């Protein structure tokens, strides 16, 4: 018999206050190792452990590569580094970004599930989009416990909402109730037999990629099936992988995206591409007008008029692109789902009138 002594926690926007509330409610003698990934800018170093240690519960510190995992400790991911668990030690790596983040939640959760199976408790807190959903699915699929913050309690509900939608979570509770819940779960004895997974090799490969192994040499493209999408980070070929019925994508250099984060990134890059096109056209307009003026001063009126005409035609194309920029939407699955639900509510109200 054993206990659930590995707790992995993921948070993003709105997660700072949630983490403070959670850690404040933990007992100082909690016999578990806690690992936290909180999306943060690369220059925010040391902030979270300092704040969490003010509560004088479980000691917190930024994780260091290679240090031994000890109970009654909180290990916080460093800025711009993935946090992983490997053979009783902490790994701090600069592997490829996942869902546009490093540190990302999914690599931590996967590494915990791979190394500790049913001993793992995965927790997804407040945040945007869906980092953590794939990792929590892996935790659950490998025999661990899946917990999300009640979306109604979250400042930014997308991360816990998406996780609860895609994963058969065990608990969805306000963050104020998580401390007592975790304390109870850590104290329970469990069977130590490892869960059987059909995709152990894929999981092992993805954990190693986050630990800085070459995705290409690891033959990551042999898993899943090729997709028509190019990686937004490196423009490499992406393969479609599946977590149960949920698709996600990873390129041959290692960058990984959920379908939602890929949609958000692609639609964001469309606006950037349109502005770049407008810039290029406007530069051509300036050059055409400049040449037109040159030929006009040189007495070549017909040639000058042709350059001025081409400049006007280019301006018309730039105006069309500018209107396209203004009408363009940066999309996410959550946004589309909200629109669909709003339309359904409008139809229901209309039917009742």
The catalytic site residues sit at 12, 39, 131
CA separation, residue 260 to residues 31, 103, 158 (Å) = 36, 18, 11
**Residue 352 token pair:** 């009742």
CB atoms inside a 10 Å sphere around CB 271: 15
Residue with tokens 């490892």, as numbered in its chain: 194
Rg, C-alpha atoms of the chain:
25
What distance in Å separates the CA atoms of residue 193 and residue 214, rounded to the nearest whole number?
31
Closest of 246, 223, 202, 218 to residue 110, by C-alpha:
202
Angle at 228 between CA 226 and CA 229, to 5 degrees: 105
Phi/psi of residue 185, nearest 5 degrees: -65, -35
Preceding amide of 103 cis, omega within 30: yes
Sign of the CA dihedral with 134 first, then 135, 138, and 139 last: negative
Sign of the CA dihedral with 249 first, then 340, 127, and 163 last: negative
CA separation, residue 233 to residues 97, 99, 102, 131 (Å) = 9, 10, 13, 17
């Amino acid at each position: 018999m054993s206990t659930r002594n590995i707790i992995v926690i993921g948070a993003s926007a709105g997660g700072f206050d949630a983490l403070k509330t959670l850690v404040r409610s933990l007992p100082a003698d909690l016999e578990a190792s806690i690992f936290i990934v909180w999306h943060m800018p690369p220059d925010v170093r040391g902030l979270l452990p300092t704040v969490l240690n003010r509560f004088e519960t479980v000691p917190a510190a930024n994780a260091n590569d290679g240090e031994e995992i000890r109970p009654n400790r909180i290990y916080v991911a460093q800025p711009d580094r993935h946090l992983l668990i490997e053979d009783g030690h902490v790994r701090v790596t600069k592997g490829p970004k996942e869902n546009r983040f490093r540190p990302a939640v999914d690599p931590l959760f996967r590494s915990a599930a791979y190394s500790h199976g049913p001993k793992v408790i995965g927790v997804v807190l407040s945040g945007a989009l869906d980092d953590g959903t794939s990792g929590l699915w892996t935790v659950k699929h490998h025999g661990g416990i899946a917990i999300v913050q009640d979306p109604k309690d979250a400042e930014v509900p997308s991360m816990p909402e998406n996780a609860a939608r895609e994963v058969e979570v065990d608990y969805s509770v306000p963050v104020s109730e998580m401390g007592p819940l975790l304390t109870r779960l850590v104290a329970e004895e469990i069977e130590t037999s490892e869960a059987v997974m059909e995709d152990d090799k894929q999981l092992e490969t993805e954990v190693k990629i986050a630990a800085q192994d070459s995705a290409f040499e690891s033959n990551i493209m042999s898993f899943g099936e090729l997709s028509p999408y190019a990686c937004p980070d490196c423009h490499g070929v992406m393969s479609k992988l599946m977590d149960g019925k949920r698709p996600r994508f990873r390129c041959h250099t290692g960058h990984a995206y959920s379908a939602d984060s890929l949609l958000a990134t692609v639609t964001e890059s469309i606006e950037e591409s349109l502005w770049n096109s407008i810039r290029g056209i406007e530069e051509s307009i300036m050059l055409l007008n400049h040449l037109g003026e040159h030929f006009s001063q040189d007495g070549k009126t017909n040639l000058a008029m042709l350059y001025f005409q081409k400049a006007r035609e280019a301006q018309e194309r730039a105006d069309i692109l500018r209107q396209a920029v203004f009408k363009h939407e940066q999309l996410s699955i959550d946004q589309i789902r909200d629109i669909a639900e709003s339309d359904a509510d409008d139809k229901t109200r209309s039917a009742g009138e």
